[in-house]
Amino acid sequence: MEGKILITGATGNLGGLVIEALLEKIEANQIAGLVRETSKAADLKAKGIDIREGNYDDESSLEKAFQGIEKIYFISGSDLDKRVAQHKNIVAAAEKAGVKHVIYTSFGRKNESENSPIYPVAKGHLAAENALKNASLDYTILKHNLYMEVIPLFAGENLLESKTLFLPAEDGKTGFMARKDMANLAAEILTAKGHENKTYEVSGNKAYSFSEIAALISEESGTKINYVSPNADEFIETLKSYGVPQPAIDMTLMFAKGIAQGEFNETASIYKDLTGNEPTSLKEFLKELYGK
Protein backbone atom coordinates (compact mmCIF):
# COMPACT_ATOMS: atom_id res chain seq x y z
CA MET A 1 0.00 0.00 0.00
CA GLU A 2 1.45 3.37 -1.06
CA GLY A 3 -0.14 5.62 1.53
CA LYS A 4 -1.97 5.20 4.79
CA ILE A 5 -5.60 4.45 5.52
CA LEU A 6 -7.19 7.21 7.61
CA ILE A 7 -10.27 6.68 9.78
CA THR A 8 -12.27 9.80 10.65
CA GLY A 9 -14.03 9.89 14.02
CA ALA A 10 -11.29 7.58 15.27
CA THR A 11 -12.28 7.87 18.94
CA GLY A 12 -15.96 7.18 18.26
CA ASN A 13 -17.74 3.82 18.52
CA LEU A 14 -17.63 2.89 14.84
CA GLY A 15 -14.22 4.46 14.17
CA GLY A 16 -12.67 2.57 17.08
CA LEU A 17 -14.10 -0.74 15.89
CA VAL A 18 -12.84 -0.15 12.34
CA ILE A 19 -9.33 0.51 13.65
CA GLU A 20 -9.51 -2.72 15.73
CA ALA A 21 -10.59 -4.67 12.66
CA LEU A 22 -7.83 -3.10 10.52
CA LEU A 23 -5.17 -4.00 13.09
CA GLU A 24 -5.97 -7.65 12.43
CA LYS A 25 -5.13 -7.15 8.74
CA ILE A 26 -2.37 -4.52 8.49
CA GLU A 27 0.33 -2.91 10.63
CA ALA A 28 -0.49 0.01 12.93
CA ASN A 29 1.93 2.29 11.05
CA GLN A 30 -0.31 2.01 7.98
CA ILE A 31 -3.30 3.44 9.88
CA ALA A 32 -4.07 7.07 10.72
CA GLY A 33 -6.90 8.39 12.86
CA LEU A 34 -8.57 11.79 12.54
CA VAL A 35 -9.62 13.36 15.85
CA ARG A 36 -10.73 16.79 16.97
CA GLU A 37 -8.64 16.60 20.15
CA THR A 38 -5.43 14.58 20.15
CA SER A 39 -5.53 14.35 23.97
CA LYS A 40 -8.50 11.96 23.67
CA ALA A 41 -6.58 9.54 21.43
CA ALA A 42 -3.72 8.54 23.74
CA ASP A 43 -4.72 4.85 23.68
CA LEU A 44 -4.70 4.80 19.86
CA LYS A 45 -1.35 6.58 19.75
CA ALA A 46 0.04 3.95 22.17
CA LYS A 47 -0.95 1.26 19.65
CA GLY A 48 1.14 2.99 16.97
CA ILE A 49 -1.73 4.71 15.13
CA ASP A 50 -0.75 7.99 13.44
CA ILE A 51 -3.06 10.56 15.07
CA ARG A 52 -4.03 13.55 12.91
CA GLU A 53 -5.94 16.56 14.22
CA GLY A 54 -8.73 18.01 12.11
CA ASN A 55 -12.21 19.44 12.34
CA TYR A 56 -15.07 18.83 9.91
CA ASP A 57 -15.88 22.58 10.08
CA ASP A 58 -12.37 23.61 8.99
CA GLU A 59 -11.42 22.50 5.47
CA SER A 60 -7.80 23.65 5.77
CA SER A 61 -7.27 21.54 8.92
CA LEU A 62 -8.64 18.54 7.04
CA GLU A 63 -6.45 19.12 3.99
CA LYS A 64 -3.41 19.20 6.28
CA ALA A 65 -4.55 16.03 8.11
CA PHE A 66 -5.09 14.16 4.84
CA GLN A 67 -1.52 14.61 3.52
CA GLY A 68 0.06 11.26 2.57
CA ILE A 69 -3.26 9.44 2.92
CA GLU A 70 -4.30 6.99 0.20
CA LYS A 71 -7.75 5.96 1.51
CA ILE A 72 -10.17 7.60 3.91
CA TYR A 73 -12.94 5.87 5.83
CA PHE A 74 -15.25 8.86 6.13
CA ILE A 75 -17.75 8.56 8.99
CA SER A 76 -20.66 10.96 8.60
CA GLY A 77 -20.88 13.90 11.00
CA SER A 78 -23.32 13.76 13.91
CA ASP A 79 -24.54 17.39 13.78
CA LEU A 80 -27.56 17.28 11.45
CA ASP A 81 -27.64 21.08 11.06
CA LYS A 82 -23.96 21.47 10.15
CA ARG A 83 -23.14 18.33 8.28
CA VAL A 84 -24.11 19.30 4.72
CA ALA A 85 -21.29 21.88 4.81
CA GLN A 86 -19.00 19.58 6.83
CA HIS A 87 -19.33 16.72 4.37
CA LYS A 88 -18.51 19.00 1.45
CA ASN A 89 -15.43 20.18 3.36
CA ILE A 90 -14.17 16.62 3.80
CA VAL A 91 -14.55 15.72 0.13
CA ALA A 92 -12.95 19.01 -1.01
CA ALA A 93 -10.03 18.54 1.40
CA ALA A 94 -9.51 14.93 0.32
CA GLU A 95 -9.41 15.98 -3.31
CA LYS A 96 -6.91 18.79 -2.63
CA ALA A 97 -4.69 16.49 -0.55
CA GLY A 98 -4.49 13.92 -3.35
CA VAL A 99 -6.42 11.15 -1.58
CA LYS A 100 -7.18 8.35 -4.04
CA HIS A 101 -10.21 6.64 -2.53
CA VAL A 102 -12.91 7.65 -0.02
CA ILE A 103 -15.18 5.06 1.59
CA TYR A 104 -18.26 6.81 3.01
CA THR A 105 -20.72 5.66 5.68
CA SER A 106 -24.02 6.68 4.15
CA PHE A 107 -27.41 5.19 5.05
CA GLY A 108 -29.99 2.92 3.47
CA ARG A 109 -33.22 4.52 2.33
CA LYS A 110 -36.04 4.22 -0.20
CA ASN A 111 -37.34 7.78 -0.39
CA GLU A 112 -34.85 10.58 -1.06
CA SER A 113 -37.43 13.36 -1.34
CA GLU A 114 -38.06 16.13 1.20
CA ASN A 115 -41.34 14.35 2.04
CA SER A 116 -39.44 11.47 3.63
CA PRO A 117 -39.80 11.36 7.44
CA ILE A 118 -36.03 10.90 7.63
CA TYR A 119 -35.09 13.74 5.26
CA PRO A 120 -33.33 15.69 8.09
CA VAL A 121 -30.92 12.73 8.29
CA ALA A 122 -30.90 12.09 4.54
CA LYS A 123 -29.84 15.54 3.33
CA GLY A 124 -26.34 15.37 4.84
CA HIS A 125 -25.75 11.91 3.37
CA LEU A 126 -27.04 12.93 -0.05
CA ALA A 127 -24.73 15.97 -0.03
CA ALA A 128 -21.73 13.72 0.74
CA GLU A 129 -22.66 11.19 -1.95
CA ASN A 130 -23.12 13.90 -4.59
CA ALA A 131 -19.83 15.57 -3.66
CA LEU A 132 -17.98 12.25 -3.91
CA LYS A 133 -19.51 11.39 -7.28
CA ASN A 134 -18.47 14.79 -8.63
CA ALA A 135 -14.93 14.67 -7.21
CA SER A 136 -11.80 13.48 -9.01
CA LEU A 137 -11.25 10.48 -6.73
CA ASP A 138 -12.59 6.97 -6.32
CA TYR A 139 -15.42 6.41 -3.86
CA THR A 140 -17.29 3.56 -2.22
CA ILE A 141 -20.69 4.38 -0.72
CA LEU A 142 -21.84 2.12 2.10
CA LYS A 143 -25.60 2.44 2.57
CA HIS A 144 -25.72 1.38 6.22
CA ASN A 145 -28.97 0.15 7.65
CA LEU A 146 -29.69 0.85 11.33
CA TYR A 147 -27.28 -0.55 13.91
CA MET A 148 -28.61 -3.31 16.17
CA GLU A 149 -27.28 -1.07 18.95
CA VAL A 150 -30.20 1.37 18.46
CA ILE A 151 -32.70 -1.27 19.64
CA PRO A 152 -31.98 -0.76 23.37
CA LEU A 153 -32.18 3.01 22.80
CA PHE A 154 -35.62 2.62 21.23
CA ALA A 155 -36.68 0.10 23.89
CA GLY A 156 -35.60 2.20 26.88
CA GLU A 157 -33.35 1.38 29.83
CA ASN A 158 -36.00 -0.36 31.92
CA LEU A 159 -37.54 -2.64 29.30
CA LEU A 160 -37.45 -5.76 31.49
CA GLU A 161 -39.25 -3.83 34.26
CA SER A 162 -41.79 -2.00 32.06
CA LYS A 163 -42.31 -5.17 29.96
CA THR A 164 -43.44 -2.96 27.07
CA LEU A 165 -41.60 -2.00 23.91
CA PHE A 166 -43.34 1.31 23.15
CA LEU A 167 -42.52 2.69 19.68
CA PRO A 168 -44.70 4.04 16.83
CA ALA A 169 -42.99 1.85 14.20
CA GLU A 170 -46.22 -0.07 13.39
CA ASP A 171 -45.39 -3.31 11.53
CA GLY A 172 -42.37 -1.87 9.70
CA LYS A 173 -39.31 -4.09 9.42
CA THR A 174 -35.61 -3.23 9.64
CA GLY A 175 -32.57 -5.11 8.32
CA PHE A 176 -30.47 -4.34 11.41
CA MET A 177 -26.74 -5.05 11.41
CA ALA A 178 -24.35 -5.08 14.37
CA ARG A 179 -21.91 -2.17 14.44
CA LYS A 180 -18.97 -4.56 14.82
CA ASP A 181 -19.99 -6.34 11.60
CA MET A 182 -20.09 -2.99 9.79
CA ALA A 183 -16.55 -2.37 11.06
CA ASN A 184 -15.30 -5.79 9.91
CA LEU A 185 -16.86 -5.19 6.50
CA ALA A 186 -15.15 -1.79 6.33
CA ALA A 187 -11.75 -3.34 7.09
CA GLU A 188 -12.29 -5.85 4.27
CA ILE A 189 -13.16 -3.09 1.78
CA LEU A 190 -10.33 -0.81 2.94
CA THR A 191 -7.67 -3.50 2.43
CA ALA A 192 -8.88 -4.91 -0.91
CA LYS A 193 -9.18 -3.77 -4.51
CA GLY A 194 -12.27 -3.82 -6.68
CA HIS A 195 -14.58 -1.63 -4.59
CA GLU A 196 -13.88 1.61 -6.44
CA ASN A 197 -16.92 3.65 -7.53
CA LYS A 198 -19.41 1.16 -6.11
CA THR A 199 -22.41 1.53 -3.83
CA TYR A 200 -23.29 -1.28 -1.42
CA GLU A 201 -26.42 -1.95 0.61
CA VAL A 202 -25.08 -2.79 4.08
CA SER A 203 -27.90 -4.60 5.86
CA GLY A 204 -28.53 -7.77 7.78
CA ASN A 205 -29.72 -10.84 5.89
CA LYS A 206 -33.16 -10.70 7.53
CA ALA A 207 -35.49 -7.83 8.45
CA TYR A 208 -37.44 -7.78 11.71
CA SER A 209 -40.51 -5.94 12.98
CA PHE A 210 -40.61 -4.70 16.57
CA SER A 211 -43.27 -7.25 17.43
CA GLU A 212 -40.75 -9.93 16.34
CA ILE A 213 -38.04 -8.18 18.36
CA ALA A 214 -40.29 -8.14 21.44
CA ALA A 215 -40.88 -11.90 20.97
CA LEU A 216 -37.11 -12.55 20.72
CA ILE A 217 -36.39 -10.51 23.85
CA SER A 218 -39.18 -12.40 25.66
CA GLU A 219 -37.59 -15.68 24.64
CA GLU A 220 -34.05 -14.70 25.67
CA SER A 221 -34.92 -12.90 28.91
CA GLY A 222 -37.70 -15.12 30.20
CA THR A 223 -39.82 -11.97 30.65
CA LYS A 224 -42.90 -11.46 28.46
CA ILE A 225 -42.35 -8.23 26.51
CA ASN A 226 -45.32 -6.64 24.76
CA TYR A 227 -44.97 -4.41 21.72
CA VAL A 228 -47.19 -1.34 21.57
CA SER A 229 -47.19 1.02 18.58
CA PRO A 230 -48.90 4.22 19.79
CA ASN A 231 -49.84 7.17 17.59
CA ALA A 232 -47.32 10.00 17.41
CA ASP A 233 -49.14 12.29 19.88
CA GLU A 234 -49.45 9.58 22.52
CA PHE A 235 -45.79 8.68 22.05
CA ILE A 236 -44.65 12.29 22.48
CA GLU A 237 -46.82 12.90 25.57
CA THR A 238 -45.77 9.62 27.23
CA LEU A 239 -42.05 10.26 26.75
CA LYS A 240 -42.43 13.88 27.91
CA SER A 241 -44.09 12.62 31.10
CA TYR A 242 -40.96 10.55 31.78
CA GLY A 243 -38.73 13.59 31.30
CA VAL A 244 -37.19 12.50 27.99
CA PRO A 245 -35.63 15.58 26.29
CA GLN A 246 -37.51 16.87 23.25
CA PRO A 247 -34.61 16.40 20.78
CA ALA A 248 -34.40 12.71 21.75
CA ILE A 249 -38.16 12.32 21.33
CA ASP A 250 -38.03 14.01 17.90
CA MET A 251 -35.14 11.84 16.69
CA THR A 252 -36.77 8.60 17.87
CA LEU A 253 -40.11 9.55 16.32
CA MET A 254 -38.43 10.40 13.02
CA PHE A 255 -36.77 6.98 12.80
CA ALA A 256 -39.93 5.20 13.97
CA LYS A 257 -41.92 6.86 11.18
CA GLY A 258 -39.23 5.85 8.69
CA ILE A 259 -39.39 2.24 9.92
CA ALA A 260 -43.21 2.26 9.70
CA GLN A 261 -42.99 3.47 6.09
CA GLY A 262 -40.55 0.70 5.09
CA GLU A 263 -37.48 2.93 4.70
CA PHE A 264 -35.21 0.39 6.40
CA ASN A 265 -36.62 -2.99 5.36
CA GLU A 266 -33.71 -3.73 3.00
CA THR A 267 -31.79 -6.98 3.46
CA ALA A 268 -28.45 -7.88 1.88
CA SER A 269 -25.87 -10.67 1.71
CA ILE A 270 -22.93 -8.24 1.47
CA TYR A 271 -21.35 -9.27 4.77
CA LYS A 272 -21.06 -12.94 3.86
CA ASP A 273 -20.20 -12.13 0.23
CA LEU A 274 -17.15 -10.07 1.22
CA THR A 275 -16.00 -11.62 4.52
CA GLY A 276 -17.05 -15.24 4.01
CA ASN A 277 -18.69 -15.21 7.45
CA GLU A 278 -22.27 -14.99 8.68
CA PRO A 279 -23.21 -11.65 10.28
CA THR A 280 -24.23 -11.49 13.94
CA SER A 281 -27.85 -12.64 14.16
CA LEU A 282 -30.39 -10.48 15.95
CA LYS A 283 -31.11 -13.41 18.26
CA GLU A 284 -27.41 -13.57 19.30
CA PHE A 285 -27.29 -9.82 19.83
CA LEU A 286 -30.45 -9.76 21.98
CA LYS A 287 -29.31 -12.80 23.96
CA GLU A 288 -26.13 -10.95 24.92
CA LEU A 289 -28.13 -7.88 25.89
CA TYR A 290 -31.17 -9.35 27.61
CA GLY A 291 -30.34 -13.03 28.14
CA LYS A 292 -30.96 -14.77 31.47
For 138-180, write each residue's pLDDT tens digit. Answer: 999 999 999 999 999 999 989 999 999 999 999 999 999 999 9
Give the other-Cβ count within 10 Å of 190's Cβ. 25
291: confidence class by pLDDT, cuts 50, 70, 90: very high
Residues 232-254 pLDDT 10s: 999 999 999 999 999 999 999 99
User: Is 2 in contact with 28 (CB distance < 8 Å)?
Assistant: no
Q: What's the rounded mean pLDDT across residues 282-291? A: 97
Strands 198-202 and 173-174, by their bridges, are unpaired
| CATH of region 146-175+204-266+280-292, choose from 3.90.1150.110, 3.90.25.10, 3.30.1330.10, 3.40.50.2300 | 3.90.25.10
What distance in Å separates the CA atoms of residue 98 and residue 103, rounded to the nearest whole number?
Answer: 15
Comparing 60-64, 114-118, 281-285, the range with the smallest average pLDDT is 114-118
Give 144's strand partners.
107, 202
Sign of CA pseudo-dihedral 215, 219, 221, 225 = positive
Let me know if 250 is exposed, middle or buried by CB neighbors in 10 A (0-12, 13-18, 19+): exposed
* Domain layout of the chain by residue ranges: 4-144, 146-175+204-266+280-292
Q: Quote the pTM value.
A: 0.95
For the segment 120-125, the average pLDDT, to the nearest whole number, is 94
- Give the whole-angstrom CA distance, residue 141 versus residue 201: 9
Q: What are the residues facing 104 on neighbouring strands?
A: 74, 141
pLDDT band at 2 (very low <50, low <70, confident <90, very high): low
CATH of 4-144, one of 3.40.50.620, 3.30.200.20, 3.40.50.970, 3.40.50.720: 3.40.50.720
| Mean of per-residue pLDDT scores for the chain | 96
pLDDT digits (tens, 9 = 90+) for 261-271: 999 999 999 99
Count Cα neighbours of 41 within 13 Å in the Cβ-side half-sphere. Answer: 27
Cα dihedral 153, 154, 157, 158, rounded to 10, equals -170
